[in-house]
Amino acid sequence: MDIFSVLTMIGGLALFLYGMDVLGDGLKKASGGKLEIILEKLTANKLMAILLGAGVTAIIQSSSATTVMVVGFVNSGIMKLGQAVGVILGANVGTTVTAWLLSLTGVEGSSLFFQLLKPSSFSPILAIAGVIMMSMCKREKHKVAATIMIGFAVLMFGMDTMSNTVKPLAENPDFIDILLMFSNPVLGMLIGLVLTAIIQSSSASVGILQALCVSGAVSYSTAIPIIMGQNVGDCVAAMISSASAGKQAKRAAFIGLYYKVIKVVAFMVNFYTLNAVFHFQFLDKTASAIGVAVIHTTFNIVAVVAMYPFTWVLEKLAYLTIPESDEEIRPVTPAKMEIQILDARFLNTPRVALEQCKNAAIDMANYAKDGLFLAMELFNKFDQKGADKVIELENLVDHYEDELSTYLVKISSKHLTEKDSQELTILLHCIGDFERISDHAVNIMESAKEMYEKDLTFSKKAVEELRVFSEAVRDIINTSIQVFREEDLQLANIVEPMEELIDYLNSEIKKRHVKRLRKGKCTIEMGFILSDISTNYERVSDHCSNIALCLLQLNEENFGTHEFQEHLTNKNNAVFLAEVKRLQEQYKLP
């Protein structure tokens, strides 16, 4: 084997690894993060968790990625450790699908059907079609499909190149001697483990083994220990990922490690004990790419079936390795738990990261709403604990804004689909509005506090007017948060007429106060307080309008934000005017 053959093999390996990376990225984008989100929500049943783990891994072509995702879910408190066990077991089965795809390089036969199954026959067609789609198509989903086709073609071309390069090595005595060394179970496992740990993909390392099998120089006595080592080496990515995570995430990573070590050790001890007695003849036979896929799949399926009744043992081992501390036993405050869901591990899957941001932003919105409603109640009966709670909620909302803004900036640096970019834009706009609403809650609380400390009260008429005004503000807040949570565009159209109503109420209440002032029924000092309250109410409604307009405007390409607002509030817009009139009747001042 000369230097050029070595370079060709290295080039084939590089293309193989690059193709696998491109294919995996394309499949992740095609799934749109939906699979990972389903994984998060439907893992309460252990069997379902195993099936989902297998399904997700089979589609995204990476058990390491699935396990790292699970570590992130556990670290965030989204998934319990018991649920993670099933997903990790299933991921080990799902990863075997790649080996079956790669085994197509070993298909032999002269018939048209067998010729079409060979990657050398259909990969060039996929590559050409993918390049044409990438160049000609504008839609995101077509580009993603093109990425998958190109990635698969490059993967198969690299696999084919490696296979063709190593074929002559079957005649090389030195190469055969090296392979015979790896027929030693310990050495074979070690090389499989190290190779997988370096490239951090058992699918890729199994593919390299399958390429070597095409040379005809690899026997099953060599392939089996290497496959076992590859199974253990696959957990390195999860162990590295958990290094900076919490204790629960570390336990999830250890569950993966213990499961792989237990199944491999159990297999090796039993298999080679039986071999010493019965001398399995097939070990001396030449291994094929399909044979490697069969062993890899059978081993993992049998291991899952055998371990299924004893998953509690893995969980117990994880807790023995990392004992539960007193701090963990104490209940975690909701705020701390909700911020934990912004885990850095999700950044590699932007759709999942955005989903966690949306969940955190909904909680942020509810905290802002709670603070505002509590501040409004203080006019009826002021107490210092309630005032302190308003400030506490405002500080919490500020913390959410800081955390979410930083996390969203990190997501924005990733390659996002058009839909993901739209989601990110909505989140960035809306969290600023939620933070400003909580600021206005503090302003309203301070007005209530001033009235309490100075022993001031509104006139009976002003109290009735403020009650109607407060009810309208409560309704617009509830509606806008529902719009944000559900992305309900029809409901969003109602928010702008409500904002127009609140502008009207603000103006009308101020006019009525001036009339009472002239009649001596109210004081200038109370007028200032009433003006502060009504102004804060009106500003809150503006932020509610911003939230609804953001969702509506991003679904209308022909309008800018201000143009879109003018379009909605156009005096000739009969639907808008009719809705405003209806609301004025509903919230009629006494």
Check pLDDT > 50 for residue 250: yes
How many whole angstroms separate alpha carbon 500 and alpha carbon 477? 14
Across 496-501, average pLDDT: 90
pLDDT value, residue 117: 58
pTM of the model: 0.70
212, amino acid identity: L
d(CA 510, CA 326): 57
Closest to 17 (Cα-Cα) out of 151, 129, 149 = 151
Least confident of 359-368, 428-437, 476-485, 570-579: 570-579
Does the pLDDT value for residue 104 go beyond 90?
no
SS3 labels along 33-77? CHHHHHHHHCCCCHHHHHHHHHHHHHHHCCHHHHHHHHHHHHHHC
Bridge partners of 286, per DSSP, are 219
Residue 337, pLDDT > 70, answer: no
Q: How confident is the model at residue 558 (pLDDT cuts 50, 70, 90)?
A: very low
pLDDT, the chain, mean: 82
More confident: 195 or 536? 536
Give the model confidence (pLDDT) of 510-554 as tens digits.
Answer: 888 777 777 776 777 777 888 889 999 999 999 999 999 888 877
Query: pLDDT for 9-21, tens place per residue?
Result: 788 878 888 887 7
Percentage of the chain with pLDDT > 70?
85
Looking up tokens 């491999």 gives 264
Return the closest-CA partner of residue 387 out of 447, 335, 437, 336.
447
What is the helix (H) or strand (E) element at residue 342, kind and residue range? none
Give the number of other Cβ atoms within 10 Å of residue 566's Cβ: 12
Taken as a whole, the chain contains a residue count of 590
Instruction: Render pLDDT for 462-473 as a digit per residue (tens, 0 to 9).
Output: 888 889 999 999
pLDDT in the model for residue 442 = 94
Greatest mean pLDDT among 56-65, 118-127, 445-454: 445-454
pLDDT at 8: 84
Residue 534, CB half-sphere, CA atoms under 13 Å: how many? Answer: 26
Specify the range with the lowest mean pLDDT, choosing from 37-51, 186-200, 256-270.
37-51
Give the model's pLDDT for residue 43: 63
Model pLDDT for residues 267-282, shown as the tens digit of each residue? 999 999 999 888 888 8
pLDDT at 302 over 80: yes
